[in-house]
Structure 1
Amino acid sequence: MRKWMIYGATGYTGKLIAREAVSRGMSPILGGRNADKLRLLAKELSLEFQVFTLDEANAEKLENIHLVLHCAGPFNLTSKPMIQACLAAKAHYLDITGEISVFEHAHTQHKQAVEQDIILCPGVGFDVIPTDCTALKLKEELPDAIELSLGFDSDSGISPGTFKTMIQGMGSGSMQRKDRVLKPVALGSQRRSVDFGRGTCSAMGIPWGDVSTAFYTTGIPTISTWIPMSKSKRQSARLMGTLGLLLSSNWVKTQLQKQVEQRVKGPDSEFRANTPAYIWGEAINEKGVIKVARIQTANVYDLTIYGSLEIVKRLLNQKIEGGYYTPAGLFGSKLVETLTGSGTFEIDTFYPR
């Protein structure tokens, strides 16, 4: 049996994935930097564990490890050393990020991944499996699309790790892809109406990972990403954008992260079971034909569990040529439909008058 590791196993999402893995008969090695927490979790699940920091991550620490599922964020700080360790150890690298900078960096490592014959596939959770699959589905429905919009609606709750990632990104504004190039956008300046799957609402553009990944999946040159946002909240977001220097200061981020550690616990299983996610995408071609795709999925954290373990299982049992991949690039647009709690795509077509 090929060995694989969950690094960051004692975090909110890491624990959920580890427990589900064991319930499925899988035996990951638990990895992380906190020996006491790892020992407790390993004892609970009857699993092996390894203690090392990301500064110590190298080929020796990953000896005989076939795959690493990296769950220790914020990923813009933690992904590079783990990717380098995986390249050195010839171990597949997966993570559950939604951070644009991580996707872009991983893409620059494609040549090295090919040479080492390993898979680099960040974003194997809710960030970005369902939206990436939606992007590819729309490309299949409208091959000549020139513009793509993607988004989601969910009352999912928030984990400590996600909160810390948000804090790291405070003050950085939003992002879109325009004519193949990533371009910053003032936070709160992008607005439109969208029916994500439970009625039309006001929406705001956000710096979601798909402005990176969907381009590599589909080649569509212009991409934006959206979530529901009322006018008042959008105005608050614009105010946050004007306070960028203050919000981006290390002192402010450190103080906020301390508050997160003390107060944020993450949604429980009952809450997650009753808060599905609604995924939406829209593609347009030069003739003005519009294709809209929608799909309902499990809660964002549950989909992260199901999605990451599905990709782990497939990579442990399949031989795929090394390189950088997106989730849909690896396993197609139907991947999301195979996950527990997911429906099937519904497609609408609108023609210009």
Structure 2
Amino acid sequence: MSIRALSLGDYPGVLSVRRADAVLGAQAGGMADRAAQAPNTVATRFGLASGTKTFTATLILSLIGDRALSLKTPVRDILGADLPLIAADVTVDHLLTHTSGIGDYLDEEIDALAPLPIPVQDLDSTAAYLPLLDGHPAKFQAGERFSYCNSGYVVLAVIAERVAGHAFADLVETRVFAAAGMSHSGFPRSDQLPAGTATGYRDDGRTNVFALPVVGSGDGGAHSTEADLHAFWEALFEGRILDPALVRLVVSPTTEDAGDGLGYARGVWIDGEDLVLAGGDHGVSAVSRRHRITGTTVTGLANVAVRTFARTRALMDEVLGRSSASEV
């Protein structure tokens, strides 16, 4: 199938369809930097927001593969005196599967775009997030139900740093990005974006530099390209990042219905036959979905708010010739 056969339309970012080494379709639209009038290209890096959680989960499973952790490791064993409101029965797997019940510094069941209570420039390392994570009472007992939790994935980053002895971003770089050949992915400072990176824009036209942490952690902040995201899926299923048994843990459903008809695995959403990396925030809209049967990857990345989830689902439906599902 060629690009002319696909309805890529006028997406204001980068939209691509890949299968193995073939690019079935790719296009770019909109501005990466409005002040400089620099357009997005298919090679532009975009923020992934919560799409970062896929890499966090993969990193944690990598450490489990090294026996530095287990799914059943109690979080308290690693946190020590920090974050005392996290209950003693919360495990690493509860955090991975959003079933921990811990209080969330950014509770998306209340307001997914709420302003942060501390200056974003203070959040320049994973350790700097500890005051932000502290003081939130538990919502429910561990294992009781699914509740999407940003704090849980930052706690996973804290755990990774403490058991591995290296900064979270460095661990993701070596154990995930480098292993997958993702040479254009990383955790840049929002006030010092490297060349070729899109600036995120809020609905009012301002940039998102004052809305997001200056450096991301386990729940968000990674930047990547559409090619690198396809490379991630390829490397994951080829066993270049994790052993096959650990890959199954990443992609096997742990919650059948997390809402809107989607299931959840560990860092990955389940949308029918598609595995989905997804994130959205101020000036960030990112989805990379992988069809497990055919190995097709559809990726949409934008630096403005746009319905990327529905757009990538419809495009995957078109590519595979399947009936279009309802929008999410």
Indicate the structure with greater helix content: 1
Indicate the structure with greater strand content: 1
Structure (1 or 2) with the larger CA radius of gyration: 1
What TM-score do the two structures reach when normalised by structure 1?
0.28
Q: Which has the higher contact order (CA 8 A, sep 6+)?
A: 2
What TM-score do the two structures reach when normalised by structure 2?
0.29
